[in-house]
Chains A and B, each alone.
Chain A
Amino acid sequence: MEHSNLKRLVTSMKQNLFDQGYLDEQFYELENLEDDISPNFVEEVVNTYFKHSSRLMTNIERALETNPGDFHKLDSYMQQFKGSSSSIGASKLKNECLQFHEKCEQENIEGRSFQKVKSEHGILKQKLEAYFQLLRQVGPGDRATSSN
């Protein structure tokens, strides 16, 4: 029962993501939004997220390079990033954004401040990509949306 194994794998993978704090309830909310009209809603949203967040991160890095003193602008970017990340339930990433935001407020931004955010972003992207890949194999009907 390859299929059921796959399903189990998907479920445990998702559970891991939650347990490790990569995802939070918001992800469940997204899953709840999925329906017949938008069967791949979550995946689409996540893809959109990574596209947008990559752009945002580029902007942030550029801002850090060109005008590191403009904390207001940095914070503005970070707020957007945080909003985006929280909208897909990216919990850890959201926290990193929060920390970055606090640093902005303290005007204590360094080059590596953003690196943490960036690395978390990379990790999440990897994990979610793997997750969705597996999910696609399982098939839409088998996706178990376990809402808390």
Chain B
Amino acid sequence: MCKDYVYDKDIEQIAKEEQGEALKLQASTSTEVSHQQYSMPGLGEKYPTWETTKPELELLGHNPRRRRIASSFTIGLRGLINLGNTCFMNCIVQALTHTPILRDFFLSDRHRCEMPSPELCLVCEMSSLFRELYSGNPSPHVPYKLLHLVWIHARHLAGYRQQDAHEFLIAALDVLHRHCKGDDAGKAASNPNHCNCIIDQIFTGGLQSDVTCQACHGVSTTIDPCWDISLDLPGSCTSFWPMSPGRESSVNGESHIPGITTLTDCLRRFTRPEHLGSSAKIKCGSCQSYQESTKQLTMNKLPVVACFHFKRFEHSAKQRRKITTYISFPLELDMTPFMASSKESRMNGQLQLPTNSGNDENKYSLFAVVNHQGTLESGHYTSFIRHHKDQWFKCDDAVITKASIKDVLDSEGYLLFYHKQVLEHESEKVKEVSTQAY
């Protein structure tokens, strides 16, 4: 009798199981549980801390040079060599590899290749990229394989020339999405509504378009999948800005300086009801005639990662130029006012943002910014990425340097990447379906 506390494995195992059962019973009453960022426990599941097995203990004992990843560590950061005007690709790669949920997916080796030939699979290459970028290797990585694969699978992008980062992003997401399903040549009509690949789970949002007939006030609604939101900027000849920027109360904590347009302003403009004019009459289903109408865009379903694209490159008949107007964007963004469900209050002309919304579902945090310096014809892309929650780094091809939040928020902004703060997970049934898909 040593009179000490003892720990018996078998009993602990039994206790764990019972505990799990108990939690399940507790949680079965609610269908949705919201949890903190980066942790997605299943309903009623308690994730225990990792405990080593005997062989692991032995192994670890033999290797005393253990390091614990601290937030001051470089692990997770790595430069990318410019292969010849490929800075646009490097920035997107940095943004994608620092997307928390995507990082978790790839680093936990969740990709199962469906492609007929794995060496052509872009998702496998992404997986390999994650491994490279998180290896802790200080020497920059050469993403030549990625370039090759992208050129093979997205022919319109192939060629040695400067390209648009946004275009690359969309093409890359498209190829990744196809390859997740093993669709090599894009033959199958990809129906995003029924796809459960990781790309769709993360990036696909639903853009709702409501067309209201002015005569009978009947509304026709369509919802389209979207991977990003492209926003017109003030000063472009195709846009028109009815509201003076910055007038409304500082909705998202953006720096409220009169005269400076904010991301929220752009979003408001994007989701405003637009009168379509007499030259664009729509055939109304109920009136059975052509009537004038108003159209409004709102978000029906918010993606986990929202990408905002400022339309800085103007290719109109009149001119081709880059709009360099500074747009202020916030570190945290609440998308509630731009949802379809908030339309009522919008119709009344107010931009309602309950200060104490209690509903954190629509809150986003900025984690990557892609910037462009230069002119329409020739320029250079750099990116800021967020690492370890509060540290920001500037990625300029092969050179990574520390940056301040101020640097990030003061930058011009071309592509903004926001990540949902709270990941809601779906009910048990749907979850099962999604895990089976891959």
A and B form one complex: no
